[in-house]
Structure 1
Amino acid sequence: MTDAELPRSPQTFALWREVQDTRVRTRLGGIYYLLAWLLTWIFSATPSALWLSGITGSVLFALLMAARLLHTPPKAQNEHELRGWLDRHWGLVLLTSLCWGQAHAWALYSDALKDSAIIATLSTIAFSTAMTFNFAMRKKRAFVAILLLYVPGLVVMALDWRNGHYVLITLLFYLSYLLLALNRSHREYLGTLDLELRLLQQQATLDQLSRTDTLTQLGNRYQFNSLFQNMVAAAKRSGEPLALVLLDIDFFKKVNDQRGHAGGDACLSEFAQRMRQVFRRDSDALLRLGGEEFGVLMPNTSLEQAQSMAEQFRRELAQNGIDLQGEHLPLTTSLGVGRFDALLDVDAEHFFKRVDNALYQAKRNGRDRLELAAG
């Protein structure tokens, strides 16, 4: 997945990261439960006498392993799907822990498995340690999983206090360490996640700055080039209308000459603000293409709609002008308007050229007017 495809909401990203980490860390875990059971069974005193329970346990852990591997993360990056996947996958983890806890308890309790009970005990220690350091993202669930792995065996040892008390006490000490380590691992995971979120936020901020004109806070030429190509491609595929409005402030050089660059900058900012008041739909992309030239990309907009909105903007600006540095400044604009036509426009560049020609036609015809792109 590319950076552009990562979830942008911090909460959704945190869930997405947890899903990825959980998936990676459970991928190999299932096979070791199966191997631990096979070793416990094979190295028992009489494995042939335990063939039914041995095969049953092997099938059980093999099915749990397959369920983990086949339970792939959702493609949809939304909170509901991600939470649902995590709940189901943790269900598999907890079920595996429960099954192994019972297998360990049986190995300690059964005389037939007495010779290989140490294998089950060492495996329990390994599984609970892995749970502590690999699944600390959900501290409460990891705590429950550790108890499911540990407690059944501890209960059997407690029942056989005379023979098992020294191992029981040692395991209790180690369990206390695991719980302390789990709390620390949880804090470290959250700290790493917070750092990653901050880095992504900084990256998003820098990306936004690189695509935004600092003076007008509209999209810049870089943003326009990216959006324009994508929108034209989408219009080709879907057949939905795509309109483009190009605007150029009339006699802007005179504003700069009379009021200086500070006055010119204020004029550009006010012009952009007026654009926002007219082209205010969520789908409209307002951009400064450079100097005193601006553009509006209008997906799912007919030529008639685009022409109407553009003419409204031209008329209101001509009637009201702008207030600049405490004074009223008459101001007009020339506009070119066009709609993408797959039969006329071989590519995005040709479409832009048609509308740009209409803009310059408006300027040649006396300015303060709108011209439609030639069909």
Structure 2
Amino acid sequence: MNENCFATVEVSSNKVFQYQPILVTYKLYRAIKAQSKVVAFPQFDGFTVIENTTDEPATTETKNNRLYRVDIIRKVQLIPLEAKTYMLDDATVENTIEFNNNGSLQQVQLLTRTNKPIIEVQHLPQGIPIGSPPIVGTFRVTSFLPDTVEKGKAFDWVLTVKGNGYLPAYDIAPAAWPKGVTYYEITYDDSIQQLQFPQYVERIYRITLAASDTGILSLPTLQWVYFNTTTKGADTLQIKGAFTKVIPATAVMNTIAAAMYKPVGNTDLLFVLAGIIVIVVLILWVYFKRSNTNADKRVADASVQSQQVVTWNAAAALYQLYDVADGEPFLLAAIAWLKQYQQHYPTQYTQQVNDWLVQLQTALYAPQLTNPIDEDSVRKVLQGFLKMH
């Protein structure tokens, strides 16, 4: 019966270095119909586990001239934290098999266990920094620095590290920055494709700095030693310095930059930031309040002008649009006409009227967000709305 139903473990390598990822795949093989469930999952003590199990469809494989249905029980990338010999846990699967015994349907249960692979983990070779998790894999680094920066204004030196393997949080700051350079912080964002083996990592570091003197600014060389799993030895990620030109900053920008990027420890930083935020909010509020009030008044005035004292004549009001100047006057009058149309014929062309109202209002209030309006085309559209009346 075991030839018809069994489970195995496959490993990408039985001999690796410390922190070098291993791909481990637990598989169930069935040559007969069976109901199966995993009753004991493996534990991975001593490893960092990157889960790769997905809802992969079953496949087929041929072993010893027998065709098997193959299901993935579990797939993980394991990162060994210590240099020693590991025995991986097995997985246990309970299989319920039905068969016909002289016309009687019977069931039998079969427990299958996977093998327990041995993984030998070696120490990293000499030359790899110790004391913190090392970088292990194959990586490359690129750098971006603006051609010019303003004196006293914070700017970002952007470093991008890409590759496959293990990339822990790492201190990339040099021992010292050049004279005249203020260092604020280093932040980073990771983009990880963990289903790729070894997992693919793209990390973007942003080093925030400011320069106090104009002229050519030379930033120091940055480098980090790591273990290259392709060459099986120490390798170096290196940025051989970077240069930018520091130009004078305007008085306003210099003041704001100085306030926003004071080194940590100044007790008045929060008060300065709060003051700047309040001023900006007040300016924006006054601007938009005035703009909206004036625009609403113009639309309202145009709406009043397009109405007749007793009844609203849609056709007559539309023909008057031919005498209205293009641009803002036309947009105001057309919006007023559509609003009157909605009021008098609320069930006609509802969606189309709403769409055109939005388009015309956007052209009036936020022209940068839409294409220029062709007035003759708008007049033809409005004429189409009259066909029902």
Return the TM-score normalized by structure 1: 0.24
Q: Which structure shows the higher helix fraction?
A: 1
Q: Which structure shows the higher strand fraction?
A: 2
